[in-house]
Amino acid sequence: MQYGIEIKTTLIADNGKRFNVGQDISFTMLDKKSNTREKYIGNIRRIDDDFMIIDHIEINRMQFHNSMCMKIYFTEIDKNSCNYVSVD
């Protein structure tokens, strides 16, 4: 007898919004090189205890190569900045 067990992780942001793997997320974060706040949009590929991995990344409305992934530590994300992404 086989069982199909799937483990899903949910990211619950400090503003109470919930995100799962496969969802798009937007947030702001400090760019350490230019010392400015940047708006990131990406698709969540993995959620871990301390970080998430996103792809299909857009920074300040500028798209990056679709195969690029970024590891984002939760401590680096600005407080109360996580939002859902909607398509117009």
Residue 4 vs residue 64, higher pLDDT: 64
What percent of the chain is modeled with pLDDT above 70?
A: 93
Q: Is the pLDDT of residue 39 over 70?
A: yes
Average of per-residue pLDDT values in the chain: 90
pLDDT tens for 50-82 read 999 999 999 998 988 777 899 999 999 999 999
64 against 85, higher pLDDT: 85
Closest CA to 42 of 56, 31, 32: 56
DSSP code at position 4: -
Residue by residue, DSSP assigns 59-82 as ETTEE--TT-EEEEEGGGBPTT--
